[in-house]
Structure 1
Amino acid sequence: MLTHFQFKPLYENKNIPGWNFSFYYKKQRFSGVYHQTGKIEWTANTPEQDEIETLTSQIHELMLFHVYE
């Protein structure tokens, strides 16, 4: 389970889609860029290959709830 999820707009003009995000998972901090298309670019500490799909799904859900709600 990921904790301390945070996000902020990637651009000063908040009408341009794109967000920086960060969270903790298994006591390790991860961060990345969430693009309008749903693509995730990991910027720090890429998760293990077998965990990427699970984390990506959780990030999509959180972004849909917080940004597009």
Structure 2
Amino acid sequence: MIQHFQYKKMYESDLPGWTFSFTYQGEQIRGIYHKNGQIEWSTPSPVKDPDKVEKQIHDLMLFHVYGD
């Protein structure tokens, strides 16, 4: 389960792109969420259940960024 999810715009202008971080199974994970939904990992991606984690990130980004 993803905990302590945080995101921030990469650019001050309205250009899309966000950095994010969260804790997953006790490890701090960071990455970049691109406007097309691609996830670029800044740390090693979660080894256990990577598809499940990516779906949760997509859902969180849709809620926080695109849901406003």
- C-alpha separation in 1, matches of 2:12 and 2:41: 21
Does structure 1 residue 30 correspond to structure 2 residue 20? Answer: no
Q: How far apart in 1 are the matches of 2:52 and 2:17? A: 21
Q: Tell me, what secondary structure is at the counterpart of 2:53?
A: helix
What is the CA-CA distance between 1:44 and the residue it aligns to? Answer: 1.2
5+ long unaligned stretches in structure 1: none
Task: List structure 1 segments (4+ residues) > 4 angstroms apart after TM superposition.
Answer: none
| 3-state SS in 1 of match to 2:46 | coil
Q: Which runs of 5+ in 2 are unaligned?
A: none
C-alpha displacement of 1:26:
0.4
- What percent of counterpart residues are identical? 48
Q: 1:51 maps to which residue?
A: 49
TM-score (norm 1): 0.92
Aligned length: 67
Give the aligned CA root-mean-square deviation in angstroms: 0.9
